[in-house]
Amino acid sequence: MNAEDFPTPDADVASVAPETLKDRIDDGEDVTLLDARMSADYEEWRIDGESVTSINVPYFEFLDDEIDESVLDRIPDDREVTVLCAKGGASEYVAGTLVEQGYEVDHLEDGMNGWASIYEAVEVERYDGAGTLLQYQRPSSGCLGYLLYDDGEAAIIDPLRAFTDRYLADAAELRSASPASQARQDADDLGVDLQYALDTHIHADHISGVRALDDEGVEGVIPEAAVDRGVTYADELTTAADGDTFQVGDATIEAVHTPGHTTGMTSYLIDDSLLATGDGLFVESVARPDLEEGDEGAPDAARTLYESLQERVLTLPDDTLIGGAHFSDAAEPDDDGTYTAPIGELVAEMDALTMDEEAFVDLILSDMPPRPANYEEIIATNLGQNAVDDEAAFTLELGPNNCAASQSSLADD
């Protein structure tokens, strides 16, 4: 059933905004969720947290005039329960039904679609290059992006198409960290000029925002090494080769070719302070190597990844921050709330970064998670071989990203 197909409940049903629910979870408040989606959807992707109790009872269990007592017995009656579904229609209906049964419930506005619309910007406090660096965080999928701004100029790394308007709005509101530029901008009432939108690679878990931003006058940049995968729009954008640099105010962004997750994977070293590694290295794991060449090509890709990590990433100073394009439930944020960590700290904590090549390859091939939902269609869209509208693009990328190798055996015991 579609959201609009559910009747409006007779009982008054309160709603909770996705951002409010997230704040409650972040604050450690005990939250009980009744997820009314189908069990398969629930098992693939749901809202979790240390203080979250999650119960899955599909909406159809509430469609009968008389609800089975065994269903009601699964729902706590001694606390407030938030009902959620995919888009908000089923959850409002289920919540109304439970209100009539005497339960204390509300429902999540826009369901998991609303949850996927949360996008937060957090300053990377340990970044010590020129300007200011923000990390964008999408908690629903663990997607991360980076906005650097200095002296009236800005660049975004790994933007999402769904948040194109957000980047432009944020740039319009930001003020440069440079005092002279600050005074000039205050006088002119201007934000920063978003100059560059850079992708680290052809993503398999979300629709890139580089082309959408390029259409808005931002210079779109893709790795030169990714073009041979079949990118159809390479002539319309700037391509970044290993060693190329992009100036943002007084800060420099350098392209560092780090293949492995994909052949075109390119990290960006931001003013010698933070390496935006895309899907090559995360704060809790390393990349999975099978999304471009499949299972057959995964061993060779894993060897390439090992070489990239050992020769291009781990040779940087120990205090260089690592910031990946994703985080998982296993990731621990830094004190500033960002998913970043110094290289030296990761080497000390992650076995995969200190073992020899053969052991590394065996380890990351041994227990890879399911591939991202719709990853083949997402890749085709990001290559420009498949055209989808904004609504379809948003739907394609719902769910977990699964771009990392399994975390179960990567951390140092």
pLDDT reading at 18 higher than 50: yes
Q: In whole angstroms, what is the distance from residue 24 CA to residue 18 CA?
A: 10
Confidence grade of residue 410 (pLDDT, cut at 50, 70, 90): low
- Tell which of 94, 115, 136 closes a domain: 115
- Tokens at 172, concatenated: 């319009």
Confidence of residue 6 (pLDDT cuts 50, 70, 90): low
Task: Report the pLDDT value the prediction gives residue 12, as an integer from 0 to 100.
Answer: 85
Residues 266 and 373 in one domain: yes
Pick from 325, 317, 326, 324: which is nearest to 344 by CA?
A: 317
Confidence of residue 348 (pLDDT cuts 50, 70, 90): very high
Tens digit of pLDDT for each residue in 203-219? 999 999 999 999 999 99
pLDDT of residue 24: 95
Give the separation between CA 118 and CA 203, rounded to whole angstroms. Answer: 20
pLDDT for the residue numbered 5: 63
pLDDT at 52: 95
Q: What pLDDT is attached to residue 9?
A: 65
Q: Does residue 188 sit within a domain? A: yes
Residue 164 in this model has a pLDDT that exceeds 80 = yes
Residues 332, 333, 339, 341: is their CA dihedral positive or negative? Answer: negative
Residues 322 and 173 in one domain: yes
pLDDT digits (tens, 9 = 90+) for 116-126: 999 999 999 99
What's the structural domain count of the chain? 2
Residue 265 pLDDT? 96
Predicted pLDDT at 268: 98
**Residue 140 sits in the same domain as residue 268:** yes
Look-up: residue for tokens 């198409």?
161
Q: What are phi and psi of 193, to 5 degrees?
A: -90, 110
Q: Which CATH number covers residue 86?
A: 3.40.250.10
Give the pLDDT score at 153.
96
**Same domain? 12 vs 37:** yes
Task: Write out the two tokens for 223.
Answer: 């790795």
What is the structure's pLDDT at 237?
Answer: 98
The overall average pLDDT reported for the chain is 91
| Domain encompassing residue 342 | 120-396
Q: For residues 55 and 308, what is the distance between their CA atoms, to the nearest angstrom?
A: 42
Of 105, 109, 124, nearest to 22 by C-alpha is 109
- State the average pLDDT over residues 14-29: 95
Does 194 share its domain with 317?
yes
**Alpha-carbon distance 355 to 347, whole Å?**
10
Out of 5-9, 179-183, 219-223, the most confident range is 219-223
The tens digit of pLDDT for each residue in 227-263 reads: 999 999 999 999 999 999 999 999 999 999 999 999 9
pLDDT band at 267 (very low <50, low <70, confident <90, very high): very high
State the pTM of this model. Answer: 0.90
Q: Please, which pLDDT band fits residue 2 given cuts at 50, 70 and 90? A: low
pLDDT at 175 over 70: no
Which of 90, 115, 140 is the C-terminal boundary of a domain? 115
| CATH number (domain holding residue 282) | 3.60.15.10
Same domain, yes or no: 217 and 351: yes
402 belongs to a structural domain: no
Q: Is the pLDDT of residue 7 over 70?
A: no
pLDDT tens across 77-103, in order? 999 999 999 999 899 999 999 999 999
Q: Are 126 and 44 within one domain? A: no
**CA 70 vs CA 57, 67, 82, 100, 101: distances in Å:** 11, 9, 19, 17, 14
Two tokens, residue 236 = 């319309």
Residue 408: predicted pLDDT? 46
